[in-house]
Structures are given as C-alpha cells and as structure tokens.
Amino acid sequence: MADTGPKAAAEETPRRLYVYNGGFLTQKRVRRILELSGYDIRLGKPGPDDLIGIWGQSPTSPRGEAVAARTEAAILRVEDAFLRSVLPGRNGEPPLGLHLDRSGVHFDPATVSDLEDLLANAPLDDTALLDRAREGIERLRAGHLSKYTGFDPALPAPDPGFVLVIDQTRGDASVKASRADRNTFLEMLFLAREAHPGARILVKSHPETRLGHRPGYLGQDDLSDGMELLTDAVSPWVLLEGAIAVYTVSSQLGFEAILAGHKPVVLGQPFYMGWGLTDDRTPLDRRQRRLTRAQLFAAAMILYPTWYDPYRDRLCSFEDALATLEAETRAWRDDHAGWVGAGMRLWKRAPLSRVFGQHRKMRFADGSPAIELATREDRRLMVWAGKTTEALDAAGALKVEDGFLRSRGLGADLIPPLSLVLDDLGIYYDPSRESRLEWLINRSDRLRPAEIDRARALIARILRLGLSKYNLPGSALPEDLPTGRRILVPGQVEDDASIRLGALEVRTNRALLEAARAANPAAILLYKPHPDVEAGLRQGAVPDADRIADVILDRTDPAAALGAVDEVWTMTSALGFEALLRGRRVTCLGQPFYAGWGLTDDRAMPIPRRVARPSLEALVHATLIAYPRYHDPLTGRPCPVEIAVDRLASGTIPKPGRANRALAKLQGAFASYAHLWR
C-alpha cells in the first residue's frame, strides 16, 4: 500500500541534493532511502534549483544553512522517523525510515514543518486512514514498540500509581528548539511534586543515557524524598499503563503517552502539543485545531515519514515497516542474552547460529554441560524438541522445531529452514501438554479485525502461489485419475515425533490406508508417500500400498494433489493443515495441532484443553504469523512471514554448499543410520 504525503516521488527525475555532512555518504541506509525518494546526492556547490540536505539541527547543519543562504537553494531537513530501530543509531543500527521535510524540522516550533502543516490543514477524516491509525496504535501497544525497541517487556516494572517524569539527553536538539534547558527539567520536577504532593515521582532516563552514550538532564542528586530514578529498560507501554500522570519537555515518549490515553503535561513545544491532546505550559498560538489520537497518529506515522523495506529494497507503507520492526524486535528480545543449544546435530548448528546468534554468538553443548554453560554465562537454553530430556525440561530449555513454511527442500536433505518455532511451554506436535501454539489458538477470540485480515491475505497468497511446507518440485497429477469422491491419504515418517506423541490406535501408514478404505469403501483413495520416505531417508514405506489405494502419487506436487481431492484422511500430517487452507474436509485419526478446534472431523480422543472454536483465519494467524519466527536467507535478517512467502515463491534462496550436498548424498546411502544426524 503506497502512502501519500510530503515525499519526493521516486518516479520523477532525481533532484540534486548537495550535502555537507559525511553521514549522508557513509550511512548506506540513509543514502538508499534518499535515492529511492528521488534525490541524487552530490558534493559541491548547488544551483538555485537544487536542494541542500541537512540532518535536522545537528552540529553540522550550519554548514548547509550557510550555503543555502549564499546560493538561494532550498533545504531538505532529514531526521529519523518516530519508529527507528531496535537499538539507537549510536549502536550502529540503521533507521527504519526518515522524515524528509522541505519546510522545517518537526521538533522546532520556529518554523511550520511539513508535519505541522499536515496536522493543521490535512483533512485527516478518511475512514480507511483512521482505521489504519487505530490499528497501528494497537500494534505498537501489543508489541511494546517505541522509537527504540531494545528492551524486555517482561522486565519488572514499578508498582502502578506513580507520576512519570521523562528525562532527555543533554543537548538534545528538540530541547534546544523548545528553548528549554536544565532549569526546565528541574521546574518539571517541582510542578510534578506540587500537583501530586503524596504520589511517588518516577524519573525515566533516556535509553541513550542508560547505554552510556549521552548524559541526561536529571540525576540522582536532583531527587528528593518520594522520587526515584529509573534507568532499567522497562517497556514504555508498561510504564504509561502504571502512571497516573505524565510530564515531559519534548520527548517522543510524550507522544506515546497520548497514544496510551494520557493527557501529558508538556513544558516544551514538540510536534504533538497544541492540538487539544496535551496540557501545554508553553502554548503555541498558531496551533488551534483539535485532533483525535488517531488523527495525530495518522499524520505523524503514516503520512509524514518515508518508510523503507530492507528485504525488497524499496519504499513501503507504514504497515510494512512496522512488520519489519516487529520481526527484528522479536528476534532481539529472544536472542540478545545469547543461547546455548542442546541436542543440535552438527549440520544444524550453522543455520541455527545464523538465526539465533546475531546478537551474541551461540554456544552448543549437550546434557548437563549445556545447563551448566547457560547458567555460568547467563544465557538462555534451547533444545531441539525431539532431543529434550527431563533435566533440560527442568532447566527451562525452550524447544526448537521447524516451522510450517519451512524451505524449498527437505530437512532430511540438510536444507536449512526459513522458519523455526521456539516454544516455552511444550511443542506443537505433542498433545500431551500445552504448547505455545495451543495457547495462542485458545486465545484467538482476542484477535483484532486487522489481524484476521492479515491471515486471510496470507492464505490467499499461499493458495495463489501453491506453497507448502517443503515446496519441492513435484510431478503433475496422473492424467487418468479416476472420477468420483477422491480422498488423499498422506503418508508420514513412522518414527517421527508427531506419530510417537500424537497418533493413537492408528500409527503406521498401512494402518492409515486400511482405516481410510474401511470407512470409505467406494471412494477413490490417493496415497501420497512422504517426501523423506520417497527419498529413502526415513521409515514409512508401504510396498504394497497399491493393493489398498487406487492411485499412488509418487513425488507429486502436494498442492496439485490437494487441488484434486475432496477430502484428506491423516494421522498427524501437516498436509491436513494445508488441506484446511484449501477448504478440504479433513479427518484426523491422531491429535495434530490443528485438530480439536471444530475445523476437522476428529476420530481420536478429544483434548479437553482445546476449548476455542477459531475460524480458519484465526488458526492460520496463530500457526503461521504469531508462533514461528522467519529468517530471510538473502539479507540474513529476521523477517515477517510475507517475506518468507516471497522467497519460497520466487526460489531466490541461496543453495546449500558443496559440503551439505555431499553429506546429504552420503546420508541417503546410509538411511538406516539416520539417528546419527537427525
């Protein structure tokens, strides 16, 4: 979805942009966003029709301003967007988007910036736009997202009932633009105490102060009885929920306080004051319009910024940028403490390290040494789900498994996955205990309409592109398929954990075929062997399957097979889930993750914990969006599911190295010893 706003159109002839700050040349992301926005970055002397690029009101901005005064060239003010990155730019993180403002800079009330013009004059009454804004606010709240997201939402927060006073970094340009200084911050403390004489006063330090990059205006020596300095990286949304009042000079956290339902006291003149949503102690007379929170958000987050898609290398909508930040934030919060991996075969370690070791290198060990290493180095502990032990469970090891949109190729062929699940409760294929996926499905009635819409769009793309778990090149269907009621019976790997844990009376492919035939004597049975079994890598062959089934679909495209049948009979196969996506009736003789929710014909013992009755879209949201993590093999970044779908559809995935290919061939020759590498 393309947004309109005060942006240069990339289709126009590039406008020459002369710069006098080295960051425009050395920061690749900044340069790329400007190029895609239609600017040709140059050095030298501009003409009157050119533009001069200036970074906000940085120490280098007087250079560009002086050149502009001499040449009459216009100025383009560049700043980070309000959702920037996981960690601050001083940690080397590139921005997710930029503000490209030809009128001023959003935090300086001395001029009317493009943002203020939007807030003052844009209609901001489009229903679709405001619906997007309201959903955006909810996504920020649900994901605990802010300008910087490198904090753990589970970190203990102060008991609620405090007054929140927001500190900022000393010398911050927005503070200077509001003509504020240290005395303003001391005055803010005084006002908070005067208005709330019996309340606790909590002074929140800036993230860059906590990380040691820049000092703040307020310190421990400035506090009196009943005041506390908070330097912990607590979620801003948790803080705002616990606050009874909020005080700020010009911090972006004041903007987020509005989104959280507060009317903050504002001593400066940031972009969000003056619209009827703040208690302004330094009013700005020209701001007379009264806005809603959704209108403020729509202008500041949807219309004003220029957002960037790092996976497709293009400008994008606010929603696409938010999905990027959600994926990167989730990965950081999972991984920043570091991992010890247990039960990981050698070939899996490099792919797992690429996914989970980007912030701190992964370590690997087994058994008690893994537990001891995690404790000694204050790391988290994970175990490949099928290799867990009582000791690892007791130590709190999270279970890891392949996701449901895995790869273009088999795991048994040592093809690394694009999706993995990390489960802190159980694992999706073990119905004996609750998994995080089951937990998500049971709460699917809480999904917002936009989340259901996202799942519906994902289903449509998967069907349109013909995607499945492994996306193997398959044979077409036989041309002479018998007509009549067709039932697909997908074979499985018989020693697979999902069979061991989720199958009951029927536990083999032969027994499954016999049960399907006994219940459907007149139907056309199509038996599709599992790809790992067809490749000779796993157990589960049924040599005389043609005596029971009418057709054997050897190495057939699973999407084509599902498209040709009316029904699927399965034990626990993921093809049952893919059949649901395609509107097929599914009969389960086992207890797979998608059974027991009212969407399948269940012939096994019911699971009392599964009480929800989700729609198909809600099941898909839990299974393909909320539960797995996705890894983009091209950029090496965490990514949203939609990017993984793009990669699987296009096949633009790096091929396994020679060593992996050789090992895969070798393991095929010794399939009976598969336990050595699985």
pLDDT tens, residue by residue, 425-440: 999 999 999 999 999 9
Q: Is 62 helix (H, G, I), strand (E, B) or coil?
A: helix
Give me the residues paired with residue 490 across strands. 528
Q: Is 553 helix (H, G, I), strand (E, B) or coil?
A: coil
Tell me how crowded residue 377 is: count the other CB atoms within 10 A of its CB.
Answer: 12
**In whole angstroms, what is the distance from residue 202 CA to residue 48 CA?**
51
CATH number of 468-632: 3.40.50
378, two tokens: 């204050």
pLDDT at 677: 43
DSSP states of 482-536:
PPS-EEEEE---TTSHHHHHHB-S--SHHHHHHHHHHH-TTSEEEEE--HHHHTT
212 pLDDT above the threshold of 90: no
Q: At what angle do helices 127-143 and 449-465 cross, to 10 degrees?
A: 90
pLDDT for 517-549, tens place per residue? 999 999 999 999 988 887 777 788 899 999 999
8 pLDDT above the threshold of 50: no
Give domain 130-308's CATH number out of 1.10.3470, 1.10.10, 3.40.50, 3.30.70. Answer: 3.40.50
Structure confidence at residue 610 as a pLDDT band (50, 70, 90): very high
pLDDT at 13: 82
Task: Tell me the average pLDDT across 576-604.
Answer: 97
Structure confidence at residue 265 as a pLDDT band (50, 70, 90): very high
pLDDT at 415: 77
**Nearest to residue 2, comparing CAs of 51, 36, 41, 30?**
36
pLDDT for 406-419, tens place per residue? 876 555 556 788 99
Distance of alpha carbon 449 from the chain centroid: 18
pLDDT at 413: 53
Within the chain, all domains assigned CATH 3.40.50 are found at 15-121, 130-308, 468-632
pLDDT at 460: 97
Task: Tell me the average pLDDT across 143-159.
Answer: 94
CB 209 within 8 A of CB 169: yes
Average pLDDT, the chain: 91
Task: Tell me the average pLDDT across 328-349.
Answer: 95
Task: Tell me the average pLDDT across 343-353.
Answer: 92
pLDDT at 514: 96
Structure confidence at residue 240 as a pLDDT band (50, 70, 90): very high
pLDDT for 136-145, tens place per residue? 999 999 999 9
Phi-psi label, residue 456: left if phi above 0, alpha if psi -120 to 50, beta otherwise: alpha
Structure confidence at residue 90 as a pLDDT band (50, 70, 90): confident
* DSSP conformational letter for 303: I
Task: Tell me the average pLDDT across 430-454.
Answer: 97
pLDDT at 472: 65
Phi-psi label, residue 66: left if phi above 0, alpha if psi -120 to 50, beta otherwise: alpha
pLDDT at 12: 66
Pairing of strands 567-570, 39-42: unpaired
Q: Which fold has domain 15-121?
A: Rossmann fold (3.40.50)
pLDDT for 477-508, tens place per residue? 888 899 999 999 999 999 889 999 999 999 99
CB 601 within 8 A of CB 585: yes
Structure confidence at residue 673 as a pLDDT band (50, 70, 90): very low
**In whole angstroms, what is the distance from residue 161 CA to residue 158 CA?**
9
Which helix (H) or strand (E) element contains residue 658? helix 658-669
What percent of the chain shows pLDDT beyond 90? Answer: 81
**In whole angstroms, what is the distance from residue 6 CA to residue 237 CA?**
30
**In whole angstroms, what is the distance from residue 351 CA to residue 358 CA?**
11
CB 593 within 8 A of CB 609: no
Q: For 546-640, list the strands marked E by DSSP.
A: 551-552, 567-570, 585-588, 601-602, 628-631, 638-639
662 pLDDT above the threshold of 60: no
Helix, strand, coil % (nearest 5) of the chain? Answer: 40, 15, 45
**In whole angstroms, what is the distance from residue 147 CA to residue 322 CA?**
11
470 pLDDT above the threshold of 90: no
